[in-house]
């Protein structure tokens, strides 16, 4: 059951996504596991299935994934104002940190300073783990098995291949959307239109 949304939901949205944005390295996918933990497990604003649906929509839209999912969550809770509060919470810490790095940490300083360069080298493996973890958990929660795991593997290899046209991610987004629509049409066509005698009795 979803908890009741309090009056200061805008402040909560901003604070939650600001905390995630301030302490996450590695971009959008690295944020997903933290966003899910905050939105689904901690705040109980959304159910897990709702979050996965919003994540699928956010990935399909142009722009930064972390901002897209924050806008989707905010809009789901409190409409336009909620989406603005969540988006600002995601953007402001990242913008401030990047601005500070651009001012004080030049590429020459990072390369020449042994301590700073060592810190960034140490962060890289953690970033990889933060990106891989939500991919694995999302695959489990959508019940991806051996019959369907070949789809993301082949798509990843084709995108990585750098072949003209074939490696374009937009192509696979369109193909995925079209296949999903065909599957929905197939499910609707094969769905029984009349209730069985037992179902009719249960309905009574």
pLDDT tens-digit readout, 101-133: 777 777 777 677 777 777 777 877 777 776 676
pLDDT at 84: 92
Over range 147-166, report the average pLDDT: 80
- Does 56 have pLDDT greater than 50? yes
What's the confidence (pLDDT) of residue 192?
A: 67
Q: What is the mean pLDDT of residues 188-195?
A: 68
- In this predicted structure, the answer to whether residue 146 has a pLDDT above a threshold of 60 is yes
Tell me if 108 sits within 8 A of 92, measured CB to CB. Answer: no
pLDDT at res. 134: 66
Q: Which one is predicted more confidently, 194 or 22?
A: 22
Q: What 3 state SS string does 6-33 have?
A: CCCHHHHHHHHHHHHHHCCCCCHHHHHH
Statement: residue 152 has pLDDT above 70:
yes
Please state, in angstroms and rounded to a whole number, the distance separating the CA atoms of residues 69 and 54.
Answer: 7
Poorest-pLDDT segment among 129-138, 153-162, 180-189? 129-138
Q: What is the 3-state secondary structure (H, E, C) of 113-167?
A: CHHHHHHHHHHHHHHHHHHHHHHHHHHHHCCCCCCCCHHHHHHHHHHHHCCCCCC
Work out the average pLDDT over 81-91: 90
**Whether the predicted pLDDT of 203 surpasses 60:** no
Per-residue confidence (pLDDT) for residue 31, from 0 to 100: 77
| Burial environment of residue 32 by CB neighbours within 10 A (0 to 12, 13 to 18, 19 or more) | buried
Q: Is the pLDDT of residue 49 over 70?
A: yes
Spatial separation of the C-alpha atoms in residues 193 and 189, rounded to whole Å: 9
Confidence of residue 2 (pLDDT cuts 50, 70, 90): very low
């Amino acid at each position: 059951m979803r908890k009741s949304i309090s009056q200061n939901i805008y402040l909560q949205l901003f604070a939650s996504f600001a905390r995630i944005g301030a302490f996450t390295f590695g971009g959008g996918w690295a944020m997903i596991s933290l966003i899910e933990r905050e939105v689904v497990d901690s705040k109980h604003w959304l159910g897990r299935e709702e979050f996965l649906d919003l994540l699928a929509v956010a990935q399909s839209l142009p722009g930064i994934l972390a901002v897209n999912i924050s806008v989707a969550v905010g809009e789901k809770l409190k409409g336009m104002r909620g989406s603005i509060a969540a988006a600002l919470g995601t953007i402001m810490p990242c913008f401030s940190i990047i601005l500070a790095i651009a001012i004080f940490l030049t590429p020459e300083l990072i390369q020449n300073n042994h301590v700073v360069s060592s810190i960034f080298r140490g962060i890289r493996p953690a970033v990889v783990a933060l990106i891989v973890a939500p991919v694995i958990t999302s695959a489990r929660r959508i019940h991806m098995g051996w019959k369907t795991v070949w789809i993301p593997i082949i798509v990843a290899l084709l995108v990585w291949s750098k072949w003209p046209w074939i490696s374009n991610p937009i192509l696979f987004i369109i193909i995925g959307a079209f296949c999903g629509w065909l599957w929905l049409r197939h499910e609707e066509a094969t769905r029984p239109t009349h209730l069985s005698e037992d179902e009719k009795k249960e309905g009574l």
